[in-house]
Amino acid sequence: MKKHIMLNILLWTILFPLTSSGYDGTGRTLNLLYTGNLDGELEPCGCSPKTDFGGLARLSGYISEKRNTLSPYLLIDAGNFSADDNPQGRLKTDALLKAFSIMKYDSVSLQKKEASFSDNLVSALVEKYKIPYVSNRHHSKLSITKNRNKFDVHISAYPGDHEKNQLNILLTDLPLSECKEMQGWDVIINSSGEILDEPFSLKNTIIVTGYPKGEKLGILTLTIDNKGKITGFRHRWQLLGNDIKEDQKVRQVLNDYDSQVAGLLKETERPLKETTYLGVAKCAKCHQSFIDTWEKTGHAKALLSLEKTGKSSDPECLICHTVGFGEDGGFYSVATTPDLANVQCEVCHGTGKDHLMDFYKPMTPVTESVCKRCHTKDKSPDFSYKDYLEKIKHW
């Protein structure tokens, strides 16, 4: 019996020299705090407590508060942190990198998303904010070496670029299937958007993935011997919930971003198209009883929710919290189209213009798919058509 157990343990140590639990080797430790595939996410929208995780102010707050227990650490982003190349996405990417510089990221990696900007905006910004970066698209900065806890750590974005006698970390968005075939890397931090709940360890390589949109911070604790070889590791996710105190410096960056976004909605650029939406005040003339019921629902206060968080001029929020934002004759801004604020009648019933010509011509039928335009999994995880319909009943 005893022999059997001994044999088992022996087999396990031969087959799995790196184990994530119960490792009893010696050596010093180094924490890799990593993000990847943030996809321009500055902070969660707050639409539902169930999806209220992540955000750069919390990330920075967490690291500052736990600095002593986390040290020595390297803070790394594996790439695809940028938003899209449009006016709002550019402001977002700028704010994100400003926040990275406040947090003193040790390295970021420029991947597909970063390279998609027409004018190399992202490399210009990382240089402006003096953030160390690697990229396999800019040959001058393929890799960097950081010294932490007396270890030389070689960080690169190019799969063929590992060094001898250093700890080698690859930051890449190549598919996990390809990463699993690579050799020479101690750690691969992946930003392809694929998710590994636990690290994948194979031969001498540990593979982890950034958590999409930064809902969680990855913490990989390496135990390293005197020769710089990894002898064990532990891994955990730090969930970034609203219990974490925000870093005020990063909060300021996010608030500045909100003001800049508000400036994007220039009154002079409002499309002065024919009005197709009438607004609830017009419906009230003939349907007062329905309006009384509607006013008691959250739909009637949807813009207030944005005002409370300083987001009442953010197109990315207005699209679901007003009537017809982005459409001809839809909501544009509180100043120009106050009548179309909030989630009104016409969001569900269709524009009222034709209705006034002929009251008996049926309006757009309201079905579940109408609700799901806004009540998505991410924004409204508790949505159930039956229960939610009951709550807005006005008929």
Residue ranges that bind ligand HEC, judged by CB under 6 A:
45-48, 278, 280, 282-283, 285-287, 290-291, 294, 297-299, 301-302, 305-306, 309, 311, 314, 316-317, 319-321, 343-349, 352, 355-356, 359-360, 362-363, 365-366, 370-371, 373-376, 379-380, 382-383, 388-389, 391-392, 394-395
Of 117 and 331, CB closest to ligand HEC: 331
Residue found under tokens 């184990």: 19
The Cβ of residue 127 has, within 10 Å, a number of other Cβ atoms equal to 12
Which token pair is 244? Answer: 């974490």
Q: At its nearest, how many Å lie between ligand HEC and the CB of residue 279?
A: 7
Contact 231, 224 (CB under 8 A): yes
**Rounded to an integer, what distance in angstroms lies between the CA atom of residue 304 and that of residue 2?**
69
The Cβ of residue 195 has, within 10 Å, a number of other Cβ atoms equal to 12
Instruction: State residue 326 phi and psi, 5-degree precision.
Output: 90, -10
**Rounded to an integer, what distance in angstroms lies between the CA atom of residue 338 and that of residue 349?**
20
Of 96 and 155, CB closest to ligand HEC: 96
Contact 102, 247 (CB under 8 A): yes
Phi-psi region of 58 (alpha: psi -120 to 50; beta: other; left: phi over 0): alpha
Contact 77, 39 (CB under 8 A): no
Burial class (CB within 10 angstroms; exposed 0-12, middle 13-18, buried 19+) of 210: buried
Of 211 and 294, CB closest to ligand HEC: 294
**Rounded to an integer, what distance in angstroms lies between the CA atom of residue 232 and that of residue 30?**
11
* Edge-first strand listing for the sheet containing 167-172: 143-148, 151-156, 167-172, 187-190, 205-209, 200-202
Question: What 3-state DSSP class applies to 176?
Answer: helix
Contact 228, 165 (CB under 8 A): yes
Which helix (H) or strand (E) segment is 391 a member of?
helix 385-391
In DSSP notation, 234-295 reads EEEEEE--TTSPPPHHHHHHHHHHHHHHHTTS-GGGS--PPP----HHHHHHHHHHHHHHHT
**Rounded to an integer, what distance in angstroms lies between the CA atom of residue 273 and that of residue 254?**
33
Secondary structure letter of residue 223 according to DSSP: E
